[in-house]
Chains A and B, each alone.
Chain A
């Protein structure tokens, strides 16, 4: 077994320090070592987007990063989106039937969170483009696009106190 390294980072605002093998992915680290299982694995090769988390505020595929690469970083996961209750994006997903099995949902939410930070009033076309890297096998996307439009409107009206970032 390879030598382990200390990784120190913040996850959803909390400091975390663990000893990990250099080959351990950030996704496995978050799920197994930090025990935040909301980040999902759908492909482990960077295509499906289920594992999307925020690294220093930018969306990344946690299956394509090693935990040691996140040393010193700020990681945001779906568990950190809302302090309590649901974030307006999560609420909009609920209101618009934008999830079925919920497996893609954490990655979708993180991608949408990033989109709406950068672009507060996206068109349907822009939303669809922004979601191009997140596969949902259940919904057919229409409802997700509806939810993102609604979330954008809600956030423009009343931006929440941000938790994850």
Chain B
């Protein structure tokens, strides 16, 4: 993967992060740290109702408050911009209503912005919100996703005729025959609760408009500055070249800061109307009410299994509740689709029929959060395998061995039609069992049971869809499928790199600096990577779908190759050698086999930039190149296995994680420490999903989880140490063989934990199929368990 003549020295090593110094010193530059002259602050009047008609709005008292500079109503906002619609055209038949910055005729979820205020500071802006009078006529709320589909249910958007946003599915192989042949058929319903992302830095934006130029600058906590530029252009009616979007330091995102939010648009409109910079920072309550939510699925599944544990066929029917609109521009149907498409996991299941309903409700909008669909698909499949294994008296390991796709079956095409080109499904399992001490824990479990301790062991074997190419563009969304890098050797011989991929904490700048250092034969410290500014970096797609490392590395490698070629040609001229004989190594440019004939990059830089008149006319005076990269295949598949041991306290219902071991295969690792930390962070989010995190609405659509005391995220005290092991199976289709890693931990955790809890509870005849697995859920299941009523254990 290195340019000829350089040895990889940085790639593959746990190089320390180049991002850390400022952040550790409290010198981060997050959006809220930005202060511009004459800047004012936005706040929003938000709907207290899930569903209501807006009868009357009066803003005069708010306008009269000293310090208030503007109040924006819904009608005015609608006049000032173009509405948007979250459709991806390749989901045939999907429908959703137009969205406006502020609620026009109706409010459709609690927290929906109704009026926007700008004032001298946030305190005054909130005071002014209290003075806005809104009269509502409440309407019955549509909350339950199954109910949303029933005829006669109130309509969230009358003009659409029903509340169904999308209906899809597929029928592959010979499903009915598979079920006819089955030794056993298992049926279950899985219920997955709503969640939300909870990036610690809330959504944040500063917008500044220059009316004479007609130019808008937006500093926004975002994963996707170029996408934001494109959608602001469409919505605000400005040409793209007049919009600059900057994502400075971003305090976590996980799929949160990748969508068009109506309050962001309203804040831009305020800035455009005022000609003054406007700052808008969500508080935590606004985050819970209006950040995208995720998950909320019902999955009915049937598995046809032979006597030896082979899964012959599957049927699934998923319902996903996504809030009043399909989110723009990524839509709200992708997660449900991923649930059904990924359900077969890394297993050889040829016959599979699936159906999906995506329905509207009076709740916050739902869209993609880390690992989109994977955790649910994996949890369902893994749980069904454990159920079959128990029933057939097979070890859970054995049933997996029998069904996992073997290396000699690659490339393997799944029932849905995905192609696994490379992977280590069985190898990962064996490594996890070995490192996790599976056999020892089984003994420990048996011993525990005799002593009244309830240990459970859970496994999950999963795939991770990474580095998707034209995933959204093919549906018409302005989301870049390619990514890009500009690499420049500066006059002094050091390197500047401008990367289209963004950084929300992953350590992307470190990883790209490693790649570039090796490619150009310089040290990591000599490379400065920048990203996140549409005025600075070439066009890119930011981060999503574990694409950053793969596409950013690919683009960096291509740009470095082009720069190295320029260096070789110029050095060849200066050293009187053939360019092909010139190599770049250790900051030097020398003739192969004649190390005394060498120059530094600084020598070359001086000549190219300051004495270019002395170069032959056919040598371009340039040490800079921009490259754009799309992987050869639309998806690169990573894979892994988690093994977890839990202890369940049957009195309190508390689950304690005793051991957590992961094996991840994301191909060759650019930086194993960064990979391990992506895995750990993702696993903990997966643990949060499985055990704690739950957005709760009541039957009227009122949001009950409004603080971090109601919505529990994992804390240090409950989390285990997480052991991370690696396999490195390169992708044949990406530059460097890299695969993505950011979501794998979140994908694998729910299945492993659910299985572990169910394994612990098995002696009571209890099996849970619901998430989050709260202490209440465990206790009430135990209370209803027949075995417990007799003697407390079986």
Which B219-233 residues sit within 8 Å CB-CB of chain A?
Answer: none
Alpha-carbon gap, A135 to B709, bound state (A): 12
Given contacts A102-B249, A105-B24, contact A42 B200 (CB under 8 A): yes
Contact residues in A for B152 (Cβ distance below 8 Å): none
Alpha-carbon gap, A102 to B680, bound state (A): 16
Contact residues in A for B721 (Cβ distance below 8 Å): 124, 142, 145
Closest to B199 in A: A137
Contact residues in B for A134 (Cβ distance below 8 Å): 716
B23 touches A102 (CB 8 A): yes
A135 touches B719 (CB 8 A): no
Asked if B399 is at the interface of the complex by the 8 Å CB criterion, the answer is no
B13 to A: closest C-beta gap in Å: 13
Give per-residue flags for A128-147: 1 if the beta carbon is below 8 A from chain B beta carbons, else 0: 11011111111111111100
Alpha-carbon gap, A37 to B27, bound state (A): 7
A101 touches B17 (CB 8 A): no
Mark the stretch among B304-312, B390-398, B500-508, B610-618 that contacts chain A. Answer: B500-508
A128 to B: closest C-beta gap in Å: 5
Contact residues in B for A39 (Cβ distance below 8 Å): 26
Asked if A109 is at the interface of the complex by the 8 Å CB criterion, the answer is yes
Alpha-carbon gap, A87 to B33, bound state (A): 23
Which A69-127 residues sit within 8 Å CB-CB of chain B?
Answer: 77-79, 81-82, 86, 90, 93-95, 97, 99-106, 109, 124, 127
Mark the stretch among A3-11, A44-52, A54-62, A153-161 that contacts chain B. Answer: A44-52
Given contacts A94-B24, A104-B200, contact A41 B32 (CB under 8 A): yes
Asked if A36 is at the interface of the complex by the 8 Å CB criterion, the answer is yes
A101 touches B252 (CB 8 A): yes
Contact residues in B for A145 (Cβ distance below 8 Å): 716, 721
Contact residues in B for A94 (Cβ distance below 8 Å): 16-17, 20-21, 24
Contact residues in B for A140 (Cβ distance below 8 Å): 677, 680-685, 714, 719, 722, 745
A72 to B: closest C-beta gap in Å: 24
Contact residues in B for A90 (Cβ distance below 8 Å): 24-25
Closest to A132 in B: B717
Given contacts A43-B284, A86-B25, A131-B716, contact A138 B32 (CB under 8 A): no
Given contacts A99-B24, A102-B23, A124-B721, contact A43 B708 (CB under 8 A): yes
Give the size of the chain B interface in residues (CB under 8 angstroms): 59
A34 to B: closest C-beta gap in Å: 12
Contact residues in A for B709 (Cβ distance below 8 Å): 45, 47
From A31, A50, A95, A143, contact of B680 by CB (8 A): A143
A110 to B: closest C-beta gap in Å: 10
B717 touches A44 (CB 8 A): no
B713 touches A135 (CB 8 A): yes
Contact residues in A for B252 (Cβ distance below 8 Å): 100-101, 103, 137-138
A149 to B: closest C-beta gap in Å: 11
Contact residues in A for B249 (Cβ distance below 8 Å): 101-102
B16 touches A103 (CB 8 A): no
From A38, A48, A104, A137, contact of B27 by CB (8 A): A38
Contact residues in B for A78 (Cβ distance below 8 Å): 25-26
Asked if B673 is at the interface of the complex by the 8 Å CB criterion, the answer is yes
A40 touches B201 (CB 8 A): yes
A1 touches B26 (CB 8 A): no
Contact residues in A for B506 (Cβ distance below 8 Å): 100
Closest to A86 in B: B24
A86 touches B716 (CB 8 A): no
Alpha-carbon gap, A143 to B504, bound state (A): 18
Residue of A24, A82, A138 contacting most chain B CB atoms (<10 Å): A138
Asked if B700 is at the interface of the complex by the 8 Å CB criterion, the answer is no
Give per-residue flags for B11-22: 1 if the beta carbon is below 8 A from chain A beta carbons, else 0: 000101101111
Alpha-carbon gap, A47 to B283, bound state (A): 13
B677 to A: closest C-beta gap in Å: 5
A82 touches B200 (CB 8 A): no
Asked if B170 is at the interface of the complex by the 8 Å CB criterion, the answer is no
Alpha-carbon gap, A68 to B252, bound state (A): 32
B505 touches A102 (CB 8 A): yes
B211 to A: closest C-beta gap in Å: 27
B200 touches A101 (CB 8 A): yes
Closest to B721 in A: A142
Closest to B711 in A: A47
B722 touches A101 (CB 8 A): no
Closest to A143 in B: B677
Contact residues in A for B717 (Cβ distance below 8 Å): 128-129, 131-132
Contact residues in B for A99 (Cβ distance below 8 Å): 17, 20, 23-24, 505
From B67, B676, B682, B719, contact of A128 by CB (8 A): B719
Given contacts A100-B681, A101-B200, contact A141 B719 (CB under 8 A): yes
Alpha-carbon gap, A140 to B714, bound state (A): 8
A102 touches B123 (CB 8 A): no
B17 touches A1 (CB 8 A): no
Given contacts A41-B32, A101-B249, A145-B721, contact A137 B198 (CB under 8 A): yes
B357 to A: closest C-beta gap in Å: 31
Given contacts A95-B16, A101-B251, A140-B681, contact A135 B25 (CB under 8 A): no
B251 touches A40 (CB 8 A): yes
Asked if B489 is at the interface of the complex by the 8 Å CB criterion, the answer is no
Alpha-carbon gap, A45 to B716, bound state (A): 19
A163 to B: closest C-beta gap in Å: 12
Asked if B715 is at the interface of the complex by the 8 Å CB criterion, the answer is yes
A109 touches B681 (CB 8 A): no
Closest to B123 in A: A23
Contact residues in A for B716 (Cβ distance below 8 Å): 127-129, 131-132, 134, 136, 141, 144-145
Contact residues in B for A141 (Cβ distance below 8 Å): 680, 684, 714-716, 719
Contact residues in B for A1 (Cβ distance below 8 Å): 66-67, 124
Given A82-B25, A135-B713, A139-B681, 14 more contacts at CB 8 Å? A41-B32, A78-B26, A81-B25, A90-B25, A99-B23, A99-B505, A100-B507, A101-B249, A103-B201, A103-B505, A105-B24, A138-B200, A139-B680, A145-B716
Listed A/B pairs (11) with beta-carbon separation below 8 Å: A1-B67, A37-B28, A43-B708, A97-B14, A99-B20, A103-B201, A129-B716, A135-B713, A137-B254, A138-B505, A142-B721
Interface residues of A (CB under 8 A from B): 1, 21, 23-24, 31-32, 36-45, 47-48, 50, 77-79, 81-82, 86, 90, 93-95, 97, 99-106, 109, 124, 127-129, 131-145
